[in-house]
């Protein structure tokens, strides 16, 4: 479980989060929504202990991570499979070495075992043919899939974290990544938190929606509550949904 208890965070004198509180079970499918620059990625970084809050507590499985040392954070980070926004693959390494990278760092496996796992992971995300390619040879959609395979490589994943997983993808590839995210969660029976500013992506994948505005949570609820909300900023944000969904 993830618990944020009155979390405040600033970059220098730029106050980004101003008292964020929520509880999330690892099995949930949660979207964190809000405008660009609103502090969404900052929340992911805080969950992983990459940055520490100025005030407030962050508990992961009951452990307050805000005072942990770097090496104590490693088992915390391994509970998550993370796909950052840039998907950042190592440009100088072929796909298979990108996926193998953290396995080599963190797991005591032979080369043979590593490459067997790499092949399995790549076929799980549907790009087994890309093994020998360099990142620059990949399409945007393939790039994102390889980043997902790499995120899956080492974790005893309890939850997926995706930062803007469809950013920069055309509609067809967006749809494919959305189905992949869903399939992985269904098959492994693990939840995810997805950061996005595209409300329709969130709608297709999630059953809980958290909106951030001016450093605060202005909405936290399910689909029904989202559709019925009276909050003017949230309504403005979800306007586009009403054109796309017909069952409400």
Ligand X SMILES: Nc1ncnc2c1ncn2[C@@H]1O[C@H](COP(=O)(O)OP(=O)(O)O)[C@@H](O)[C@H]1O
**Beta strand pairing status for 80-83 and 159-163?**
parallel
Min CB(116)–Mg ion separation in Å: 35
Q: Residue 135 binds which one of ligand X, Mg ion, none, with CB within 5 to 8 A depending on kind?
A: none
The yes or no reply on residue 14 touching ligand X (CB under 6 A) is yes
Q: With CB under 6 A as the contact rule, which of the stretches 30-38, 109-117, 198-206, 216-224 interacts with ligand X?
A: 30-38
Q: Which of 36, 92, 110, 189 binds ligand X (CB under 6 A)?
A: 36
Selected binder of ligand X within 42, 98, 166, 174 (CB under 6 A) = 42
143 makes contact, choosing from Mg ion, ligand X, none, with CB < 5 to 8 Å by partner type, with: none
User: Which stretch of DSSP H or E encloses residue 149?
Assistant: helix 140-152
Residues 57-96 that bind ligand X (CB under 6 A): none
Q: Residues for the chain: how many in total? A: 248
- Interface mask (CB under 5 A) for Mg ion, residues 35-74, using x and -? -----xx---------------------------------
In this complex, which beta carbon is closest to ligand X, that of residue 50 or of residue 63?
A: 50
C-alpha span between 159 and 189 (Å, rounded):
9
* Cβ neighbours of residue 21 closer than 8 Å, sequence gap 6 or more: 4, 5, 6, 7, 56, 217
- In whole angstroms, give the CA distance from residue 46 to residue 17: 11
- Out of 2, 4, 7, 16, name the contact with ligand X by CB under 6 A: 16
CB within 8 Å of 70: residues ≥ 6 apart: none
Residues that bind ligand X (CB under 6 A): 11, 14, 16, 34, 36-42
């Amino acid at each position: 479980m993830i618990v944020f208890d009155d979390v405040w965070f600033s970059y220098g004198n730029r106050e980004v989060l101003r008292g964020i509180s929520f509880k999330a079970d690892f099995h949930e499918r949660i979207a964190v929504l809000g405008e660009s620059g609103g502090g969404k990625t900052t929340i992911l970084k805080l969950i992983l202990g990459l940055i520490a809050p100025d005030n407030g507590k962050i508990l992961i499985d009951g452990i307050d991570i805000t005072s942990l040392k770097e090496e104590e954070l490693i088992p915390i980070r391994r509970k998550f499979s993370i796909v950052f926004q840039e998907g950042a693959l190592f440009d100088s390494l072929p796909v298979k070495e990108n996926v193998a990278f953290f396995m080599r760092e963190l797991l005591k496996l032979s080369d043979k075992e590593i490459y067997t796992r790499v092949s399995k992971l790549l076929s799980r995300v549907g790009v087994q043919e890309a093994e020998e390619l360099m990142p620059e040879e990949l399409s945007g959609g393939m790039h994102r899939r390889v980043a997902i395979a790499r995120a899956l490589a080492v974790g005893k994943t309890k939850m997926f974290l995706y930062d803007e997983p469809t950013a920069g993808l055309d509609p067809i590839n967006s749809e494919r990544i959305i189905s992949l995210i869903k399939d992985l969660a269904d098959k492994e029976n693990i939840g995810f938190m997805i950061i996005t500013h595209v409300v329709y992506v969130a709608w297709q994948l999630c059953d809980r929606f958290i909106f951030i505005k001016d450093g605060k949570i202005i909405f936290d609820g399910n689909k029904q509550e989202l559709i019925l909300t009276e909050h003017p900023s949230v309504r403005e944000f979800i306007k586009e949904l009403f054109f796309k969904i017909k069952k409400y």
